[in-house]
Homo-oligomer: A and B are copies of this chain.
């Protein structure tokens, strides 16, 4: 199954086998992207949405001087821009981070998919609401935390999301973000992001391999405290058993 990670750890049990297959069948084709390749430009009219099979993407808005604010990061199992299906255009750009493989869904095809299956329409609605919940948490992160907290929170979020879809091996941080990316996602300068990482290193919360350039998370618990990270917003349900809205009626 190409879309096997969709909502994994969240509502996967709310999808019947038949529905899951119907989603897979609705794929138009699969594309691959180079690292950092641009996929969609703000304002463009779009006719299809993308689902991440493998890789990672970012969504960003540029300021007047051309500096970038990352407004969202997407991992395997996420739709990059499902909201463009109802909206028909995006209010932000979309780029690949790592080399990525995406499933392309034409909106026309999605329309048919949900015409036949109202339950799938609500599943898809639900996944765009998870994005919105993450947006709100990012507003909190930028509005209330200092540089250390912002970076700690972001790391915790990514760890948790990768864990949910089973893409987290060991404790090394498997996400292709440079310090500049962290800065652009955290509303701080690259210089300051660098100094912040040094602080986190000095406190023994994480480490950075000089050679492989890979980050290792040493003390996730302390990072959570520093970033005031509570993962409930990633589930849309708090405890999985609370959400019976969709689990009740698989198909």
Main SS class of interface, A: helix
Which of A96-104, A114-122, A192-200 makes up part of the contact surface? A114-122
A177 at the interface (CB under 8 A from B): no
Q: Once bound together, how far apart are the Cα atoms of A131 and B135, in whole Å?
A: 10
A92 at the interface (CB under 8 A from B): yes
Determine if A144 and B63 form an interchain contact, defined as CB atoms under 8 angstroms apart: yes
Output the nearest chain B residue to A126 by Cβ-Cβ distance: B86
Closest 7 pairs between A and B when the two form their complex, measured CB to CB: A143-B187, A135-B135, A142-B142, A132-B132, A91-B233, A69-B143, A63-B144
A-B contact pairs, 28 of them (CB 8 A): A43-B238, A61-B136, A61-B137, A61-B140, A61-B144, A63-B228, A64-B228, A69-B144, A83-B129, A83-B132, A86-B122, A86-B125, A86-B245, A86-B246, A87-B236, A87-B245, A88-B242, A88-B245, A89-B237, A89-B243, A91-B136, A107-B245, A118-B118, A128-B129, A129-B132, A132-B132, A139-B139, A143-B186
A interface list, Cβ under 8 A from B: 43, 45, 59, 61, 63-64, 67, 69, 71-72, 83, 85-89, 91-92, 107, 114-115, 118, 121-122, 125-126, 128-129, 131-133, 135-140, 142-145, 184-187, 228, 232-233, 235-238, 242-246
